[in-house]
Structure 1
Amino acid sequence: MRHQEGLALVAAAATGIQVGAAMVATRFVVHDIGPASLAFLRYAIAVLCLVPPLLMSARVRFATRDLLVVMALGIVQFGVLIALLNLSLQFILSTRAALLFATFPLMTMIIAACLGREHLTGAKVAGVALTVVGVGAALGERLVTESGTGEWLGAILVLAAALCGALCSVLYRPYLARYPTLPVGTWAMLASVVALAAPAGMEGLFTETSRLDPSGWLIVLLIGLSSGIGYVLWLWALKHTTPTRVTVFLSLSPITAALLGVALLGEPFTPGVLLGLGGVVAGLWLATRTPVASSDNDV
C-alpha cells in the first residue's frame, strides 16, 4: 500500500511538470488558434493515443449512470477547464496564471473536507500554503512589473479553471475505485472532444485556413501527446491516494514554467526561483509526509 502511494506521488509530480510545460507551450500558439480549438486538438490527439492501449486491454463495462457521470466530469475537466485556461492566457501572462492556478490544491483540500472525503490536518494546510508562497517567490518581481490589459478578467478565468479542476479531482475518486484508470480517462477525454467540437467549429477550426505554421502544429501535437500520458498518470494517482496529496503537486507546474523560461527564453535564474523551488519542495514534504488515514480513502 505504501509502495503504491509512493508511485502515485511520483505520477502526480510528473503530471505537475507536464502541466507547467504545456502552459509554456500554449503561450506560443494560443494567439494563432482559438482557445476552444486548441483544447479540441489537444484532447483529440490525446484520445487517439489512448484508444489503441484501451482496445488491447480487458473490456470494461460501465454502469450507464457511472459512464454518464465520468463523461460529464471529462467535459468539465478537459473542455471547460482547458478552454477557460487557454482563454485566460489571452488576457494574463503565464507567470500570473501559473500562480493563480496554484490555488488548485487549496480549493481541492477545502472541497474534499466539506464533502467528508478528507480530514484537514495542520501539516496539509501548512504544506499547501507553503507551496503557494513558494510559487509566488519563484515568479518574483515579474508578478509586480509585468502587466497587461484585462488582468482582472484573466485572473477570474484562471481561478474558475482551478475550481473546475478541484471539483473533478474530488468527484472522480468513487469511479476510479470501481473501474480501471485507462477506460475512465479515455471516456472522459472523448466526451470533452465531442463537447469542444461545437465551439471549435464556431472559431473556424473546420472551415478556415489555420494560421499555425509547421512549428506551431508540432507544438500542438506535443501538447496533445503529453496531455494523454499526463492525464492517465493523474487519474492513477487519484486512485491510489487522496485528492489533496495529488493536486498539491500542481505547484510544480509554475516552477517548471519558470525553469523553462530560463532554459528556452534566456530569462535570468534569480535567487527568487531558487527560493521558490525550496518553498515548493518543503510544502510538498509537509503535505505528503503524514500517513494516509483510513477515512481519507473512503469514497
Structure 2
Amino acid sequence: MNKSQGLGMLLLSLAASIWGGMFVVVKAVVTIIDPITLVWARYLVALVGLGLACHWSRLTWHIRRRDWPLLIAIGLIGNTLSIGFQETGTWLTSAQLGAVVTSATPTFIIIFAHLILKERLTGLKIGAVALATSGVLLIVGVQLTGRQTLLGAGCLIIAALTWALMSVLVKKATAYYPPLQVTTIGTAIATVCLTPIVFSQPKTLLAIPWFTPQVSLSLLYLGLISTALAFVMWNRGLQLLPASRSGVFFLLQPLVGSLLGWAFLDEALTPGFVLGTLLIIGSIWLETRFSN
C-alpha cells in the first residue's frame, strides 16, 4: 500500500464516519423540516462553503463539452435522487432499516465498477464486502418493527443503487477534474433540481423556524460538514482508489451512527454490536493489508 492509497482509505473512512453522525443531526430536525426541503437547505448551505473553497483554490472552470453529461448525471443521480430517496426512505421507515439496506451499496459499487470502469472482480473484494455487510446486519439487526413500509424500503433500495452508480461516475470524472469541482457542480445541479419542488409549497417553507438554534446549527453541520466537506473527501478518496474498494469504507457509516445514537439519543446497542464492529474492522484490514 502506497501513500496515496493510504490517504484514499483515510478520506473514505472520515467521510463515511461524518455521514454516520449525520443521522443524529437529521433526527433533531426531520420533525420540523420535511426530507426534501432539508436536503435542499443543506445544499444551499453547502454551496456557500464550496463556493468559498473554489475561490480560495483558484480552480479553472473550463469544462469540456463532452464531459457535461457525465457531470450532470453525477448531480442528478447522486446528489438529487440518492440523497432524496435516502432521506425519504429513512423518514418513512427507520435508521436501522436504512443501515441494513445501505449495506447493499458496496455490492452495487463492485458491479457498476466492473461494468462501467472494467475494474477486475476479485475474491478479496467480494469477501471483504460480505464480511462488512455481515457486520452491519449484526449491528443493526434485521427485525423490522414500527413504521417500516414497503414504500420506504423501496426508496432506500433506490438510494443504495443510485449512490453506487454515482460513486463509479465520480471515479470517472475525477480522472479529469478536481474532486472539489466535481462536488460543487453536482451540488449546484441538485439545488437547481430541488428548488421548484420546494417552492411549490411556499406556506410550508415559510412556516419553518429557520433561525432557531436547533434548525440553524443543524443546517450548518449538515451543509458544511456532512455535505461540502464529506462529499469532497469521498470524491477525493474515489480518485485515489479503485471504485470497487470504496464500498467497504462506506459501511463505517452505520457503525458510527449506531455509536452516536447510543451516546446522544439513548438508543440501545444490539447484542451483536461488538461482533459486528469487529467484522467491519476486519474487512477494512483485509482491504488495507492485501489489496494492491
| Aligned partner letter, 1:162 | A
Distance 1:203 1:253 in 2: 32
Superposed, 1:1-299 pairs within 5 Å as 2-60=2-60, 61-140=62-141, 143-144=142-143, 147-204=145-202, 207-210=205-208, 213-226=212-225, 227-292=227-292
Give TM-score scaled by structure 1 length: 0.90
1:150 positional shift: 4.5
SS of 2:93's equivalent in the other structure is coil
Conserved 8 A contact 1:108-1:169 = yes
Identity level (%):
29
Distance of aligned partners of 1:177 and 1:206 in 2 relative to their CA distance in 1, 3 Å threshold: farther
Distance 1:118 1:19 in 2: 26
| Aligned partner letter, 1:132 | T
Q: Could you tell which deviates more after superposition, 227-236 or 261-270?
A: 261-270
Distance 1:116 1:214 in 2: 45
1:117 positional shift: 2.7
| Aligned partner letter, 2:70 | V
Distance 2:206 2:117 in 1: 49
Distance of aligned partners of 1:189 and 1:108 in 2 relative to their CA distance in 1, 3 Å threshold: same
1:181 positional shift: 1.6
Distance 1:39 1:266 in 2: 26
Give TM-score scaled by structure 2 length: 0.92
State the Cα RMSD in Å.
Answer: 1.9
1:247 positional shift: 2.4
Q: Deviations over 1:101-126 (max 9, x none)?
A: 12111100011112353111111101
The number of residue pairs the alignment matches comes to 289
Conserved 8 A contact 2:20-2:255 = yes
Q: Deviations over 1:176-221 (max 9, x none)?
A: 0111221111111111111111111124378532156431332122
Distance of aligned partners of 1:269 and 1:165 in 2 relative to their CA distance in 1, 3 Å threshold: closer
Q: Could you tell which deviates more after superposition, 108-117 or 282-291?
A: 282-291
Distance 1:195 1:79 in 2: 7
1:59 positional shift: 3.4
Q: Could you tell which deviates more after superposition, 178-187 or 5-14?
A: 178-187
Structure 2 counterpart of 1:297: none
Q: Could you tell which deviates more after superposition, 67-76 or 255-264?
A: 67-76
Distance of aligned partners of 1:126 and 1:207 in 2 relative to their CA distance in 1, 3 Å threshold: closer
Conserved 8 A contact 2:140-2:270 = no
SS of 1:33's equivalent in the other structure is coil
1:74 positional shift: 1.4
SS of 2:206's equivalent in the other structure is coil
Distance 1:148 1:206 in 2: 27
1:230 positional shift: 0.2
Q: Could you tell which deviates more after superposition, 217-226 or 10-19?
A: 217-226
Conserved 8 A contact 1:132-1:251 = yes
| Aligned partner letter, 1:73 | I
Conserved 8 A contact 1:34-1:200 = no
Q: Deviations over 1:13-69 (max 9, x none)?
A: 001111111123222222321221111111111111011121122332111231342
Conserved 8 A contact 1:135-1:276 = yes
Q: Could you tell which deviates more after superposition, 4-13 or 113-122?
A: 113-122
| Aligned partner letter, 1:259 | L
Q: Which runs of 4+ in 1 moved over 6 A?
A: none
| Aligned partner letter, 1:204 | P
